[in-house]
Amino acid sequence: MTTRYRCTACGNLTRFDVTSTRRTRAFHHYSVGGELTIEDPEVLFEDVESVECRWCGSAANVVEISASEASAAVADEG
């Protein structure tokens, strides 16, 4: 499930600067020519440190919302 955000200060639903730390595991496959392809990435740990609204710059007014809340908000705007 993907986390969705909403800025309660300006109503933004689409653009956020998210700072996070991730620990991942993936299969690294090198071709004979030395080109790397990364396959099967798996997120083992993720810590979202901050989320800031790209429109108004607020971090204090950004909240997580459900997919149904996001769909309803978009429908209200349209």
Q: What is the band of 61 on the pLDDT scale with cuts at 50, 70, 90?
A: very high
- DSSP for 22-69, please give it: EEEEEEEEE-TT--EEEEEEEEEEEEEEEEEETTT--STTEEEE-HHH
Q: From CA 70, how far away is CA 33, in angstroms rounded?
A: 45
Q: What is the band of 73 on the pLDDT scale with cuts at 50, 70, 90?
A: confident
Q: What is the pLDDT of residue 11?
A: 94
* pTM for the model: 0.71
Q: What is the pLDDT of residue 1?
A: 56
